Each structure stands twice: as C-alpha cells, then as structure tokens.
Structure 1
Amino acid sequence: MAEHELFGLALGLEAPWAVTEVRFTVETRRLDLTVDFVPGSRFPCPRCGQGDCPVYDTRLRTWRHLDFFQHQTLLTARIPRVTCPRCGVHQVGVPWAREGTGFTTLFETLLLDLARQMPVSGVATEARVHPDSVWRILRHSGDEAVAHQDLSGVSAVGLDECSKQKGHQYLTTFCDLDEARVIFVAEGKDAETVQAFADQLVAHRGTPGQVTQVCCDMAPAYISGVEASLPQAAITFDRYHVMALVNRAVDEVRREEAGEVAGLKATRYLWLKNPERLTAGQQTALRSLKGLDLKTARAYHVKLALRRFWTFRYPKVAARYLKRWYFWATHSRLAPVIEAAKAIKRHWTGILAFIRSRITNGIVEGLTSKIKTALKRAYGF
C-alpha cells in the first residue's frame, strides 16, 4: 500500500478528497500532508444543498492535526468555492475540520478531552498551542452544546448558587432533576436570574409553564423569582438547607453554653454530624455529654426530631408531626432554636411539599461542586 493511500485511510478521506503529497522533515520534526480533490470534481452548494456545482476558485488552507508519534502534523489543502445558480459563490466545507478553525476536528477533540483533566495552561503546554486557542475551542464547544439544547421535556428543576469569586459574586446553576444534567448557568442569585432561565426555556423549545416542580433554598430572591417567572411551579425547599438552619441553631446554643460548661469546647461536630456517621469514640463522648442535662443536648434532640419528618410518606401525617415538632421547638426556651422554628413556619408550605415531590438538591449540589472544582483548578489561568 502506497503511503499516500495509507494516510488517506488514516484520515478517513473519501472521494473526491485524497492525500497527494507526504513530506517529513527531520530537522523541524514535522509531517506535512497535502490533501486535494480530483480535478473536475463538483460539490453540493453549502447553502441550499444543490449538488453538482462547479468549482469557481480555491484557497489554500493549513490545519494542525494530531501528532504523528512525537512529530507535529500539518494538513494543507485547496478549499474550493463553488458557483450555485441560486446562491452564488460560496466556500464548501471540508470533512476534517469545522469552518473558521486552524485545527482538525480530531485535534480539537483531543484538546477538549485534555481540558476535562487539567487547566487550560496545561492543555496548551501539552499540545504545544497558545492558551487562547484552547479557550476558543472550549467556547465554541459550549456554544454548540447550548445551541442544540432541547428543553421541551424539563418539568422538575433544582437551582443553587455557588461563589464565583470574592466580593459576593455568585453563579446560579439550574439542573434538570429528572435527567441529572446542568441546563443553565447564570451570574447572580436574584429574581432576574430565574427570569433569565425562563427566557432560556423559551429559546430552546420550552415554556416557563411546563416547569411544575422547583427545588431551592429559602432565599427570598429565588422564591419571588420562581413565583414570577415559573408560575406553574410548586416550590420544594431543599431539606439540606432546612436542616442546616437547625444545625446552626444547635451550634449557637453550644457556643453560648460552652462558656459555662468546659466539656463542650471542641465538641462542635459531635452535635452536627448525623448519628450514623459518628465513630465509636465520638458516640461514647456524645452519650456522656447527653447525660449532663445540657441545653445543647435539648437542641440536639429537637434537631433529631426534625430529621424524622423527612421519612414520612403521607402529607397529612407529616403535617401533624411537623406541627407537634414546631410546638416543641418554640417551647424549648432556647432562643436560637425558637428562631429557627419560626423560620421553618414561614416556609411551611414549601417544606411540606417535599412529602409529595420527594425532590432534593442533592444532584445540584454535586454538579455545583464540580463547577467549584473547575473554578479552583482554573485559578491563575
């Protein structure tokens, strides 16, 4: 098999394209492949698709391709412009690269795969390209993915914010809870952010009215944004954020009491961790502290009682239980616990909604964590 034919097969070329020249330079450690079309070839119009259009002229272009062993590979070809009786003169596309890039599709795919594992500067160093080129490829890939989004089937949405950088700059991530995928990311964490998501739905075959469930924290801006921009959505407050509210109350009680009871110092995580996650030593220490009739122990039992609420399956039973819990919490004579209970009362409907919807932001938290990791890895690049 001739080398021209071998490289043509390796590139996946089909008629009328073929490799016409192979040139390897030892001094520059470079492989140059020349690709051309058969003289007299005709091409379909890139605008209307009409076939059998004659070549008007050609332009010489060069692309960076995957390395040949450790040697840089460049692919050069004459790109024809064709004459279409309906559309005029237009340049045809080539099968090995998208329009407007200096890299082949396979090379861009390699850079995208590398970018999943390392910062952009590392990708640029490994591939011997400028970082700006990597960023352009990443932006194009992201834009292409967004342009082809179909949001017509989205009905349950989870949203959560993460810090973008210092100075109270945030990103809000919107996820399709049924498909466990990120569908929109916007700067900010206010009602306008939710409106931007509603606009994104309209732009990608969806409507705000199709969203029937939203899971979020108890931020007033998110609540007002969902009510205004997603009118058919029932809000479920994420149970992690509800429990975090009560955990903060328990810790505040502990800090206040630690000034009087020396044994409470350095015991914060004994009270905040779930019982099943405690080590044997921690369980022993917690049992001895609970026997001291501490205010912190009372607050801890209030927290454990609220944890049981999430296990109920019947809304009426759950509502009765939550009412009893609220009475106990508000009569605990522990100011932080009473304040947390009143906050839960203000968000009563959204908390009870969990019993029917059973949705949480666990998926969103996981995906947001990946975004945070990507941001940290990109520091300085």
Structure 2
Amino acid sequence: MCRSQPFSYLYFNRFRSLHNLVYRLPSCAQPCAVHDTETKKWRHLDFWNWKTYMHARVPRVKCETCSNTKAGKKVTQVPVPWSRPLSHFTHQFEAWAMRWMAEMPVNAAARELREHVTRMWRILHHYVDKAMSSVNMSKVKRIAVDETSSRRGHRYITLFVDVDTKMVLFATEGKGMDTLASFKAFLAGKGRDAAQVEEVCCDMSPAYIRGIQDSFPQAQITFDKFHIMKLVNEAVDDVRIAEQKQHPELKKSKYIWLKNGNKLNEEQKNTLERLKDGHLQTGRAYRLKLAIQEFWHVRHIFADMYLQEWMGWATRSQLPPMVQVAKTMKQHKESILRWFHSKMTNGLLESINGLVQAAKRRARGYRNVDNLISMVYMTANKLRIPELATRRAY
C-alpha cells in the first residue's frame, strides 16, 4: 500500500446479495424492495495518523408511497446506522469534530483534522440547529434584548435571552424594531403566542421601545440599570471635558470620576478627594452620579419619590449634560421604576457579548453572519456535544 494514500480498513460486503430483501424507510415505514446498490464511503476516526474511511455497498429502494415525482417513482438510499443521511462522515468522526470546534476556531479545527472548512461548518450547523430546534419555548415569559457587533462597519446581530434559563433563544442579523418582529415570527413558528412574553429588558433605544410596543404590546418594559448608569457616566465625562479648558487639573482624570471608589488605587483616591469637594462643576456632576447609584438600593416604596427628587436636583444643577439625562429619565420613568419589580438586567447579555467578541477575535472574523450566530448558540448555550459512540453500529 502506498503511504501517500489514506488508509481504508473496513469494506462492507454484507449487502452483496440484497435484491431479495425488503427495507422500511423511516419516512413512511412501508416495505420497499431493493432497486440496486451503490458503493459509498465515510470518513471515520483516524487510525494513528492515517485518514480512515469506511466503505459499504448501500441498497437503494424505490418507494411507491412517499417518493412520487413527475418522472416516476424516486429511488431512495436506505439509511445506514453509522452515519446521518447525506453526510460524508461517521457519527464518531462528527462527534470528534464538534469537540475540536468547541475548543478552537473552526478554521484551526479544519487544519488539525485535515478537512475542508466548509464541511466542518456543515457539521456544526447541523448539530447546533438540531439542538436549538428542541429548545422548549413554552415557559418563556421574561426576555432580555441587546445587540453586539458582528463585523466592522456598524454591522450587528441582536440576541434574545431567556432571563430565567439564561439561554440565548434567538439571534438575528441587524438591530432595532425589525429584530423584535423577527423574534415574534420565530415564536409563532414554534407555535407560541407573543402574548406569553410578559417582561422585556432592554436599553433606552427608541427603536427597541417601538418594536416592543408593536410586536409585544402586553409586555412590560424594564430599562437595564447598567445602561442608565452608562448615560449618567457619559454626562459626567461631558461636564469634565467642557470644564477642563478652564481647570487644567481635570485633564487625564477621566477614569477617576467614572470608576467606583473601591476600584481606585491610593493615588487616584487622593486625587479624587482633592478635586471632588472643590467648587468644580465636575464635582457636582460626580455627586449626582453617587446619588443615582444609591437609588438602586432604596426600598421600592420610596423609589418613586427618590427618583423624582434626583431628577429635580439634576435639573437645578444647570449642568446641560445632567439636565438632558434628567429629561430622558423623566420620559421613561415607569420603565426605570419597573426594575424594582422585575429585577431584570442585561448583565448576562454583556457577558455573552464578551464571549462572542472573544470568539470573533480568535477566528479573525466569520465569513457570514450565519456562522457567527451558530457559534453564539454553541458557546453561549453550552450545547451538549455529541458523544463518541462506544458500540459498533454495523
């Protein structure tokens, strides 16, 4: 045997005399006589460092019940137990490939297994789609929505996560109100009514708000408190930028005002103590920030009063960025206060976004958005990888 050729160690001839046998296809369970046989091969687990293939003569049948075509009865290949239909690999090889792809980028796994990357993606798509199709949607009541970058040029995918099970239910290309309509259609395809979604957590994007109102009119909206704090932090930094022209000591102090006190080193703490109690507009904005941080810890019966007082304080501060934040919060007051009932945040989505971006960097990007979405499902949901079969399937 030439060493440059792949090693084939199994050749099945058990189907040598098959024309008197009858097979039942899974699609119709009707007995079908053998029409002919066709030699097929499937890649199996490597034998040492040699590629290994399984060969078999597979019977084909002509089913008169489920395979009618204009040209007559269609000839159908009988399923084999060691491989799924239309696959060029055995179950064991696909399980091994999925384990590789769970640990490294698909391109790298393809190089290690000496397979074409397109075939590897087909394996991954098959098992991810199979796992996601079995997800139970009957108990979905509370979801969180957020977008993450899919590639350069302001291209995004939007993720819908079940807050209770912490599972990514649906991912779609784009962002905004159209993604909510896509999620509603996805639920309808699963036989679920949009009315079963009772709570939605999102940021203050007008597109998300409009999409929820149109597609899930019965759902209560909770604005993510981390996005609210992001608005306040951005306003504090805007005040600092405008003031540092007259007060050079504020230069290079951005993160002193934005970080929590327990994350500052001694030098930063000393600088903050020296600046925050002075007659600086940035110091006033910083005190407003500390006050809104305490808002999330007050008892819910006092939350409405506390927020109203804070918005009045921010308006009277006459700091344009803080005044604008107060106006925004006044417009969405009910959805901000809803947090004290739902306790929903997008913190889980932020961690999933981190996983997505890390996978994207390792893979140096993905050729299309479908590949990225499949990788999101596999990594974020920790999908069960097919196990290597230990029994002989032939």
Q: TM-score scaled to structure 2, two decimals?
A: 0.84
Cα deviation for residue 311 of structure 1 reads 1.6
Structure 2 CA distance for partners of 1:61 and 1:209, relative to 1, 3 Å: same
Partner of 2:27: 47
1:289-315 deviation per Cα after TM superposition (whole angstroms, max 9, x unaligned): 22323211111110111111112342x
SS in 1 for 2:246: coil
Structure 2 CA distance for partners of 1:58 and 1:357, relative to 1, 3 Å: same
Partner of 2:184: 198
Partner of 1:367: 352
1:175 aligns with 2:174: no
| 2:106 pairs with one of 104, 115, 120 | 120
Task: Check whether the contact 1:152–1:207 (CA below 8 A) recurs between aligned residues.
Answer: no
1:299 aligns with 2:276: no
Partner of 1:342: 327
Q: TM-score scaled to structure 1, two decimals?
A: 0.87
The amino acid across from 1:150 in the alignment is N
Task: Check whether the contact 1:152–1:204 (CA below 8 A) recurs between aligned residues.
Answer: no
Task: Check whether the contact 1:319–1:352 (CA below 8 A) recurs between aligned residues.
Answer: yes
1:163-209 deviation per Cα after TM superposition (whole angstroms, max 9, x unaligned): 22233222111111111111111111121110000000111132110
| 1-structure distance, mates of 2:84, 2:102 | 21
1:302-342 deviation per Cα after TM superposition (whole angstroms, max 9, x unaligned): 0111111112342x310011111111111112111111111
| 1-structure distance, mates of 2:299, 2:191 | 35
The amino acid across from 1:182 in the alignment is V
| 1:63 pairs with one of 42, 59, 62 | 42
1:160 aligns with 2:146: yes
| 1-structure distance, mates of 2:254, 2:316 | 24
Task: Check whether the contact 1:212–1:234 (CA below 8 A) recurs between aligned residues.
Answer: yes
Task: Check whether the contact 1:173–1:368 (CA below 8 A) recurs between aligned residues.
Answer: no
SS in 2 for 1:121: helix
The amino acid across from 1:47 in the alignment is S
Structure 2 CA distance for partners of 1:232 and 1:35, relative to 1, 3 Å: farther
| 1:333 pairs with one of 315, 318, 328 | 318
SS in 2 for 1:266: coil
In structure 1, runs of 5+ residues without a counterpart are 1-23
Task: Check whether the contact 1:54–1:83 (CA below 8 A) recurs between aligned residues.
Answer: yes
| 2-structure distance, mates of 1:357, 1:205 | 26
Structure 2 CA distance for partners of 1:87 and 1:169, relative to 1, 3 Å: closer
| 1-structure distance, mates of 2:158, 2:228 | 19
Please report the RMSD computed on the Cα atoms of aligned residues, expressed in angstroms: 2.1
Task: Check whether the contact 2:151–2:365 (CA below 8 A) recurs between aligned residues.
Answer: no
The amino acid across from 1:65 in the alignment is H
The amino acid across from 1:60 in the alignment is T
Which stretch of structure 1 is more off in the superposition, 300-309 or 274-283? 274-283
Structure 2 CA distance for partners of 1:114 and 1:254, relative to 1, 3 Å: same
SS in 2 for 1:116: helix
1:34 aligns with 2:14: no
| 2-structure distance, mates of 1:87, 1:172 | 40
Partner of 1:76: 55
| 2-structure distance, mates of 1:244, 1:380 | 28
Q: Which has the higher contact order (CA 8 A, sep 6+)?
A: 2
Which stretch of structure 1 is more off in the superposition, 126-135 or 273-282? 273-282
1:216 aligns with 2:195: no
Task: Check whether the contact 1:46–1:90 (CA below 8 A) recurs between aligned residues.
Answer: no
Cα deviation for residue 87 of structure 1 reads 4.5
| 2:247 pairs with one of 236, 255, 261 | 261
Cα deviation for residue 251 of structure 1 reads 0.4
User: How many residues of Structure 1 are paired with residues of Structure 2 in the alignment?
Assistant: 356
| 1-structure distance, mates of 2:335, 2:79 | 53
1:351 aligns with 2:336: yes
The amino acid across from 1:368 in the alignment is N
Partner of 1:272: 258
1:242 aligns with 2:228: yes
The amino acid across from 1:35 in the alignment is F
